[in-house]
Every structure is written in C-alpha cells, then in structure tokens.
Amino acid sequence: MSVPLVPPICLMCKRFKGGLGNPVGKPTCQAFPDGIPDEILYRAYDHREPYLDEEILFEKRAEVSDAQVEEWEKMALEFMKEGMLTAIDALENPTPEE
C-alpha cells in the first residue's frame, strides 16, 4: 500500500521563506525561523490551526486561489484517512514476530 504525497500547506503561505539551502537545513517561515516542524511539512498538518503554542498561522499568498486551498484540504483528508486505515490494518493484521 502506498502513502499519498501531500505537499505542505506552507507552499501556499505568504509567510513561507524557503528551502533547504539555508543554515537551518530545512524550510523555514515567519512562524518557525528554526525550521518548520515535520508534522506540518510531512504529515499534512493544517496550519490554519495553532501548532503547539505558536500564534503565527497560515495565510495564503495573494496568487493562491480558494480552490487551491480546497484541493489541499481534500488531499490532506485523504492522507489522514489512508493513515488511519493503515494503522487499523496493522492492528487487525499484525506482522508475525520473527
């Protein structure tokens, strides 16, 4: 079973600063100058809601349409469903111990 790839919502955010070529070694933004957490980058966390206790949230860039954000929401929801189904499958069908 493959895991769907969901680009981080950060790519549509006006606060996103960029890629891996910085001294931190991972993408940064105004909210996370020391590196965007993996939960947001790789696990489809919707940063329109606070992550831990930070207060700076996603704000879409002017050139990003509402339809693009809606498409991201659909992909993120599918990603989460897939993860839940994979976890349930693992519980119901444990791998035999060697």
Distance from C-alpha of 16 to C-alpha of 29, rounded to nearest angstrom: 4
Which pLDDT score, from 0 to 100, does residue 79 have? 82
- What is the tens place of the pLDDT at every residue in 6-38? 888 999 999 998 877 677 778 999 999 889 998
Rounded to 5°, the CA angle 35-56-77 comes to: 80
Which pLDDT score, from 0 to 100, does residue 6 have? 81
- What is the tens place of the pLDDT at every residue in 50-73? 998 889 999 999 999 999 999 999
Which pLDDT score, from 0 to 100, does residue 4 have? 46
Distance from C-alpha of 30 to C-alpha of 15, rounded to nearest angstrom: 5
Query: 86 or 1: which carries more pLDDT confidence?
Result: 86
Say which amino acid occupies 79: F
Query: 95 or 16: which carries more pLDDT confidence?
Result: 16
